Amino acid sequence: MAQVRKDFKPIVLVSASPRRQQLLKQIGVPFEVCPAGIDETLPNRVDDPEAFAVELAFRKIRAVAKEFPDRWLLAADTLVLFGNEPLGKPKTCEEAALMLRKLSGRTHIVVTGLCLAKTDKKGRIRRCLKASEMTFVTFRSLTDEEITAYIATGEPMDKAGAYGIQGRAAIFATRILGCYYNIVGLPLAKLAMMLREAGIEVTGFWQSSCNESHETNRTGTPLSAR
């Protein structure tokens, strides 16, 4: 198993998203959080969503880089697009309902831009890896009652496109083409490849339990009982 240097400093996640934090925990990557606090106002139309999402992610890193000398920083920006129209986080229940009606019975695109950057001892960006991921999501036709009930849960209000695929909106999607975790906010397979390119092997953070498992087997206790 690949090993990570003992003096490795946690990656700085430039995001306040609880979903991204949970996904990094899921794959075992150590991190600390520092939101960028930049203006994320979306235009009415985006013609190149992948380039736009990557640029937003880079802007987040650039905003905080000087605070973290000699560190790796990770930023992401996820767009939900209805055609060329980006759907941000709804500000009102009425806006959430409008977004969900647009997505009802149609296929939309979710794009995440990723930026992984290394700073020098003065906090200047010396290396920057960029990537993007695109997923196609098809919703079945939603009734007005379903939309009203979903909004009443409060779940849509802090999510782009007014839904969380990992939550109650899971019953809306009939087809997903591409990375599921991209819809949640962080395409994990793409991220792992970026980290490997940076010389950081995700599996190096995992603790092996092989020895413990062998000992358990020798005592005759089935692994399923653990």
CATH classification of the domain holding 79: 3.90.950.10
Domain that holds residue 22: 11-225
Q: How many CB atoms lie within 10 A of CB 193?
A: 14
pLDDT at position 220 over 60: no
Percent of the chain exceeding pLDDT 70 equals 89
Q: Please state the pTM of the whole predicted model.
A: 0.87
How many degrees, rounded to 5, is the angle at CA 180 between CA 175 and CA 183?
95
Q: Is residue 58 part of a domain?
A: yes
Q: Is residue 6 part of a domain?
A: no
Q: Which of 34-38, 44-48, 207-211 has the lowest mean pLDDT?
A: 207-211
Radius of gyration of the chain (CA): 20
Q: Which of 47, 77, 120, 158 is catalytic?
A: 77
In a domain, 186, yes or no: yes
Residue 218 confidence (pLDDT): 43
Q: Please check whether residue 70 lies inside any domain of the structure.
A: yes
Residue 91 covered by a domain? yes
CA-nearest of 127, 78, 126, 115 to 191 is: 115
User: What is the domain count for the chain?
Assistant: 1
Q: What is the pLDDT of residues 97-152, one digit of tens each?
A: 999 999 999 999 999 999 999 999 999 999 999 999 999 999 999 999 999 999 99
- Backbone φ and ψ for 89, nearest 5 degrees, come out as -80, 130
In a domain, 208, yes or no: yes
77 part of the active site = yes
pLDDT digits (tens, 9 = 90+) for 138-161: 999 999 999 999 999 999 999 999
Which pLDDT belongs to residue 208?
61
In a domain? residue 85: yes
Domain-located, residue 174 = yes
- The better pLDDT of the pair 219, 47 is held by 47
